[in-house]
Structure 1
Amino acid sequence: MMFVSFFTILFVSVIATEASNGLTCEQEKALVMPCSDFVTKKTVEPSTLCCKGLNQIISLTPEEKSSACTCLKEAASHIPNLDKDRINHLPKACKLNLDYPISNDFDCTLIL
């Protein structure tokens, strides 16, 4: 019994460590999904959940941000009625600082 418990704890520790090293593309999409109403002009301001998710993406390492950029650009190409001005204004609307524009034209490798 003690032997099984030790390996269970070890396994959970390894999984938790791997998960904290970055986000999957699906997790990144889930973080910014609450922003969809703002960037499609359904709401006047981004929601608190949107801004929290965006802040979490902005807080990633440069390598993780570059990966998130690629993921989210691809995901955005499948969302109809996106307003490019609103997408670019999103960090400011959330009172967050981002050193590069959010656009489909942006080269995600420049984040590195």
Structure 2
Amino acid sequence: MKRFVMIPILLVLLLLTMEQGNAFDCEATEKSLFPCGVFIIGGSIEPSTSCCSAVQNLKASTPTPDDKRNACICLKEVASHYPNIREDIAATLPQRCGVDINFTISKNMDCDNLPPLP
């Protein structure tokens, strides 16, 4: 059971961890989003503070369209490996954390046609 919960958490971490000023780091994103795993598999009603902090870091780490596209590709790839992720819940993660990352987290994201930056 512990392993079943850890996989989605790692996926989310991969998607959100990035360092400001550097190219998007998918591995670091996966690690930072680890606290979001319980939420995106439906194991908690709300994302944790540490999860939302990771989502805020994701936004801060993706200031350009290329950064956002790379983050999208990373998140999509990670999500595709975890069938227990509830896409309906994952899609609400940024909103639940009060962060606009400019795309919806989903296994079916179209990373080549993201909306323009606000």
Could you tell me the TM-score, scaled by structure 1's length? 0.73
Q: For the Cα contact (< 8 Å) 1:57–1:65, is it kept in 2?
A: no
Q: For the Cα contact (< 8 Å) 1:39–1:87, is it kept in 2?
A: yes
**AA aligned opposite 1:66:** R
1:37 equivalent in alignment to 2:28: no
Q: Which residue of 1 aligns with 2:91?
A: 88
Percentage of identical aligned residues: 35
Q: For the Cα contact (< 8 Å) 2:76–2:109, is it kept in 1?
A: no
Q: Which residue of 1 aligns with 2:58?
A: 57
> How far did residue 20 of structure 1 move?
3.1
Structure showing the higher helix proportion among its residues: 1
**AA aligned opposite 2:110:** D
2: CA distance, partners of 1:32 / 1:64: 17
2: CA distance, partners of 1:99 / 1:76: 18
2:76 to 73, 81, 85: 73
| 1:11-47 per-position Cα deviation (integer Å, ceiling 9, x unaligned) | xxxxxxxx83223210111122211100001111101
Structure 2 spans left out of the alignment, 5+ residues: 1-19
2: CA distance, partners of 1:79 / 1:22: 25
Q: In angstroms, what is the RMSD of aligned CA positions?
A: 2.1
> How far did residue 55 of structure 1 move?
1.3
2: CA distance, partners of 1:100 / 1:52: 17
Could you tell me the TM-score, scaled by structure 2's length? 0.70
Which one has a bigger Cα radius of gyration? 1
Give the SS at the match of 1:46.
Answer: coil
**AA aligned opposite 2:90:** I
